[in-house]
């Protein structure tokens, strides 16, 4: 019987670039959450073949991709899936939503579910780190404060009463934007000396406080991304102009922007209005996981 995982869209609520490391990577601090939409991965043990791709954005990942690399790495690690992986690509590619990393994280969760006797094996976390800096948080599939190059996580506690979801709209102007281009345009200074440990997230007691935090910290990649693709500024402004939008920002390296709304009704109405006024944009109303105030062990 097939097993399915949703590779949820990763949304960077904040993103600070601390500097460029000697190895060419950049030191980051980012508050990350996940949306209620994403790609769909299915494992069919009775079918042959390795990877079958469908969905509205399937053409965007033609050729070698991170899932092929993940399948090779699983095989090298002695994890035999013995079936077919089907990817329904629902998220735009090179969009700042962690699509490839989220797909890889979901594939690791599928593999873990197929090998339940190894569920507690540290192998899965090790594979996630080897696949890419964003894959560990996507494998965890939980809000987190990321640091390092994105591979160091403080998972945020949910407790017995998880924070309420955040009504939101995701909007993409219908163009891809390579992460490497944005970091090159940023021209971050070299990161010198030892990095101080990332401090735990300060208490956030309400959606209003979270929106204030997002506005205060911001996303350091927004200015260079907007310089490369000015339409990103128009997307953000369009979200902010919608009734009920409490804050808006670019996610990751863009070009997708998110808006957090007062209610689901207002988020849905905003998405309908934006799709009508900008039919070439990809626009969806969704919910983001709420962000708790403290880090989990």
Per-residue pLDDT tens over the stretch 62-71: 667 888 888 8
Select from 155, 186, 215 the last residue of a domain.
155
Q: What's residue 79's pLDDT? A: 84
Tell me the per-residue pLDDT of 25-35, one tens digit each, with 9 for 90 and over. Answer: 898 999 999 99
Tell me the per-residue pLDDT of 263-292, one tens digit each, with 9 for 90 and over. Answer: 999 999 999 999 999 999 999 999 999 987
**Residue 4 structure tokens:** 């399915």
What confidence category does residue 194 fall into, taking pLDDT thresholds of 50, 70 and 90? low
Q: What's residue 160's pLDDT? A: 58
Q: What's residue 205's pLDDT? A: 72
Total tally of structural domains belonging to the chain: 2
From 10, 89, 220, 236, the catalytic residue: 10
Tell me the per-residue pLDDT of 143-176, one tens digit each, with 9 for 90 and over. Answer: 999 999 888 899 986 665 778 899 999 999 999 9
Whether 10 is a known active-site residue: answer yes
Q: The domain containing residue 269 runs over which residues?
A: 166-288
Select from 135, 155, 175 the last residue of a domain.
155
Q: Residue 259's domain is classified under what CATH number?
A: 3.30.70.890
What confidence category does residue 257 fall into, taking pLDDT thresholds of 50, 70 and 90? very high
Q: Are 212 and 246 in contact (CB under 8 A)?
A: no
DSSP state of 61: G
Q: What's residue 62's pLDDT? A: 66
Mean pLDDT, the chain, rounded, equals 89
- Classify residue 296: in a domain, yes or no: no
Q: Is the pLDDT of residue 240 over 80?
A: yes
Q: Is the pLDDT of residue 117 over 80?
A: no
Mean pLDDT of 45-51: 68
Select from 155, 182, 213 the last residue of a domain.
155
What residue spans of the chain are helical by DSSP H?
Answer: 66-76, 99-114, 123-131, 135-140, 179-186, 207-217, 222-228, 231-240, 264-277
Q: Residue 84's domain is classified under what CATH number?
A: 3.30.230.10
Q: Is the pLDDT of residue 294 over 60?
A: no
- Classify residue 197: in a domain, yes or no: yes
Tokens 């990763």 appear where?
10
- Classify residue 295: in a domain, yes or no: no
From 39, 89, 103, 134, the catalytic residue: 134
Could you tell me if 186 and 133 lie in one domain? no
Could you tell me if 63 and 174 lie in one domain? no
DSSP state of 188: P
CA distance 83 to 171: 35
Mean pLDDT of 166-194: 92
Compute CA 86 distance to the chain's CA centroid, rounded to the nearest angstrom.
20
Q: What's residue 200's pLDDT? A: 67
Could you tell me if 203 and 148 lie in one domain? no
Mean pLDDT of 239-246: 98
What confidence category does residue 122 fall into, taking pLDDT thresholds of 50, 70 and 90? confident
pTM of this structure = 0.92
Q: Is the pLDDT of residue 297 over 50?
A: no
Q: Is the pLDDT of residue 196 over 80?
A: no
Compute CA 78 distance to the chain's CA centroid, rounded to the nearest angstrom.
28
């Amino acid at each position: 019987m097939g097993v399915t995982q949703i590779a949820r869209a990763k949304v960077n609520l904040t993103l600070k670039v601390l500097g460029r490391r000697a190895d060419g990577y950049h030191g980051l601090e980012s508050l990350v959450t996940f949306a209620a939409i994403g790609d769909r991965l299915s494992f069919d043990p009775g079918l042959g073949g390795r990877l079958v791709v469908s969905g509205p954005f399937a053409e965007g990942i033609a050729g070698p991709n991170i899932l092929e690399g993940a399948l090779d790495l699983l095989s090298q690690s002695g994890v035999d899936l013995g079936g077919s992986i089907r990817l329904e690509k629902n998220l735009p590619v090179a969009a700042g939503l962690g699509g490839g990393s989220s797909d890889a994280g979901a594939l690791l969760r599928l593999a873990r579910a197929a090998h339940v006797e190894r569920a507690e094996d540290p192998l899965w976390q090790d594979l996630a780190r080897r696949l890419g800096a964003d894959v560990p948080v996507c494998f965890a599939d939980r809000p987190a404060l990321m640091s390092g190059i994105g591979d160091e996580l403080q998972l945020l506690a949910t407790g017995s009463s998880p924070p309420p979801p955040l009504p939101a709209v995701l909007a993409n102007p219908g163009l891809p934007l390579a992460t490497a281009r944005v970091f090159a345009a940023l021209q971050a200074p070299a990161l010198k000396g030892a990095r101080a440990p990332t401090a735990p997230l300060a208490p956030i007691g309400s959606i209003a406080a979270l929106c204030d935090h997002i506005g205060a910290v911001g996303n350091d990649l927004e200015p260079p991304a907007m310089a490369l693709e000015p339409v990103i500024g128009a997307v953000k402004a369009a979200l902010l102009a919608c009734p009920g939008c409490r804050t808006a920002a670019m996610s990751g390296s863009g070009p997708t922007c998110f808006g957090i709304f007062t209610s689901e009704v207002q988020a849905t109405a905003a998405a309908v209005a934006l799709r009508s006024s900008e039919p070439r944009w990809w626009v969806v109303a969704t919910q983001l996981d709420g962000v708790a105030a403290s880090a989990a062990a």
